[in-house]
Structure 1
Amino acid sequence: MSRIGFIGLGIMGSPMASHLAKAGHEVLAHTLNTDAYPRLEADGGKGAGSIEAAVKGAEIVITMLPNHPQVEEVVLGGDGVFAHAPKDALLIDFSTIRPESSIAIAEAGAAAGFRVLDAPVSGGQGGAEEGVLSIMVGGDEADFIAATTIFEAVGKTFIHVGPHGAGQVVKAANQLVVGGTYALIAEAIVLMEALGVDAGKGLDVLAGGLAGSTILERKRASMVAREFAPGFRIDLHHKDMGIITDAARQADVSLPTAALTASLIAAGRAQGYGSLDHSALLKVIENLNGRGDK
């Protein structure tokens, strides 16, 4: 078992840290969300009053933060991880950030004597709570192998997908598929209801056929019921769509469906739904059709 310094106990980070503590790892965590400490302590971990206190003596440091500015500040800042963690510690960044940021952090880590993996996750709050996340990992294969017990505690699928930054590229592709799928399910609900069909029963049938997906399995009932508590907020998916469009521009590829999906998610933010779950794309589609009073 490892000594782990864990930074960031949000919707995803809190259950992940708890799984690691329950698996027998020594987890010392720091977060701005101090309401998360009691859960971690009940599961065998401990809270720390600072980044320094969390990572001092850690063999593995984990970050789970909203975006690249927070990760860069926590890791590279003067009072950050690289300033206080022991040399040769392994940093695993579970955050979803720009590939170029992950590469820059890995390069800075190597120069300072640290090992780094970018390891963004998919599965949402449900997957984090159940410990069945899908984890796409970029970095050195030897470091990936060394982190196996960590991934086993929080995930079901974890694959080494390439060098530093590759995990973030795969996560961008994941978010494209997820966003597009939500948009299509939203349109399917609006279509069925407009024609007098019970959308709940219709989606039950779709979930059992070729159209089936984890999103349909986990979210169809809450979408039909118009329950949009996050989950994963539209604000964060909007950030991820920016990563996708920037990456497409850098790669000089045309992704027209990505552009449309990004526009729909941006519309959700503009309509005031940024704090809702990304399944609230249904509200955007309803508004486009004059059915927003549902």
Structure 2
Amino acid sequence: MTTSNKVAWIGLGKLGLPMAARIAAAGTPVQGFDLSAERMVLAEQVGITAHLSLATAVEGCRLVFVSIPDDRALLGLHLGPDGLVEAMAPGSVLIETSTVSIEASARVAEAADARGIAYLRSPVSGNPVAAESGTLSAMVSGPREALEEAVPVMAAFTKAQYWLGDAEQARYAKLAINLMIAVSAGMMGEALAMARKGNIGWEAMLDLMADSAVGSPMVKYKTQPLKDRDFTATFSAAQMAKDLDLILGCAHADGVAVPLAAQMREAYSSLIGTGHGEDDYIATIHHTERLSGLPAFESATGARE
């Protein structure tokens, strides 16, 4: 067991890097590792010490954070003789922040337990902008005493840490939240299509939605990009499709009826098939407008999409 105050961060992608950078900026030394040389260079520029191997990145670190894209990356990173679990010291704490399946997470939990490592499932709700501002929310399950130890570091990139239980509860919670986000995106698409058919001004309807009973933080956050018809991805349609696959798999395994999830998965399949897979997930607007026979959007300046 190590008593050093430095931490390791494995996976320096769009979410991982700003989260790790917040920790470094708060004064905690961060040792980072990523398979991308470009991301390692970016990490060095924000005060993270880049390492060329997992073993050296986690050396001397009691807290090890992970941010990776999917189940395949999760299992490939953590398991096996050269994996992260074997590289970590017994008695250390693994904090895994990704959106992955319950089954894959449970396999990591088993390996961590055998190694004597406390495993915190800690997916986060938010996007890279929230990561940069330190306002992510963490859904956490695993040993509560391990969370209490990690909170002072996690506070650098999260506004809240919700402990939900000692097993896979956090994974269920993250999938449930993302289901609500996907369905909300679909509802916004339909509502805005109705408004256009009714000759309501585009910006006027968006302002109304944001200021109405349905003006959730997500709606408010998307109001200005939608006014600008800016579909630059903070979380892409393809990524949402991946999460919906996880949601459907989880729900089917547990006997939960999720017809809205199935419908939204088909909507995102259509977006991907029509070239909008790398657009932001709110590009459900395109899908509904196309189905509704609406013409290409024309802004006040006369520009068309």
Give the TM bin, normalised by the shorter chain. Answer: over 0.9
Superposed CA offset, 1:122-179 (max 9, x none): 1112211111001101111111111111221111121001122111100000110000
The answer to whether structure 1 residue 240 and structure 2 residue 227 are counterparts is: no
2:286 is matched with which residue: 283, 287, 290? 283
Residue type of the alignment partner of 2:142: G
- Correspondence 1:187 to 2:165: no
TM-score (ref. length: structure 1):
0.95
CA distances 1:2-34 after superposition (whole Å, capped 9, x unpaired)? 321111111111100100101111101111333
Instruction: Give yes or no for contact 1:223–1:280 (8 Å, CA) kept in 2.
Output: no
- Conserved? CA contact 1:235–1:269, under 8 Å: yes
CA offsets 1:12-65 (integer angstroms, 9 cap, x no match): 111001001011111011113333334433432211112222112211111100
Residues 244-259 of structure 1 aligned to structure 2 (within 5 Å): 244-259=247-262
Q: Describe how 1:36-115 pairs up with structure 2 within 5 A.
A: 36-115=39-118
Corresponding residue SS for 1:164 = coil
Structure 2 gaps of 5+ residues are 298-305
Q: Residue by residue, what CA displacement relative to the aligned partner does 1:98-127 show, whole Å, maximum 9, x if unpaired?
A: 012112211110101211111111111221
Deviation at 1:290, TM superposition (A): 2.7
1:221 to 224, 239, 251: 224
**Which residue of the partner structure matches residue 214 of structure 2?**
211
Shift in Å at residue 194 of structure 1?
Answer: 2.2
Change over 3 Å in CA distance of 1:2–1:190 after alignment to 2 = farther
Question: Which one-letter code corresponds to 1:44 in the other structure?
Answer: G
CA distance in 1, matches of 2:95, 2:268: 29
Q: TM-score, normalised by structure 2?
A: 0.91
For 2:152 and 2:290, how far apart are their aligned partners in 1? Answer: 46
Give me the whole-angstrom Cα distance separating, in 2, the residues matched to 1:292 and 1:284: 12
Q: Deviations over 1:221-280 (max 9, x none)?
A: 212322111101111111111111111111112122122122212222222222221111
Task: Determine helix, strand or coil for the equivalent of 1:226.
Answer: coil
* 1:46 maps to amino acid: T
Which residue does 2:144 correspond to in 1?
141
- Please, which runs of 5 or more residues in structure 1 have no aligned partner? none
For the pair shown, which has the larger CA radius of gyration, 1 or 2? 2
SS across alignment from 1:185: helix
Residue 292 of structure 1, CA deviation: 6.2
Match of 1:262 among 230, 254, 265: 265
- 2:133 paired residue number: 130
Instruction: Indicate the SS of the match to 2:35.
Output: coil
Identity value in percent: 28
Task: Output the CA distance in 2 between the equivalents of 1:204 and 1:195.
Answer: 16
CA distance in 2, matches of 1:216, 1:222: 11
The count of corresponding residues between Structure 1 and Structure 2 is 294
CA deviation after TM superposition for structure 1 residue 92, in Å: 0.5
- SS of 2:261's equivalent in the other structure is helix
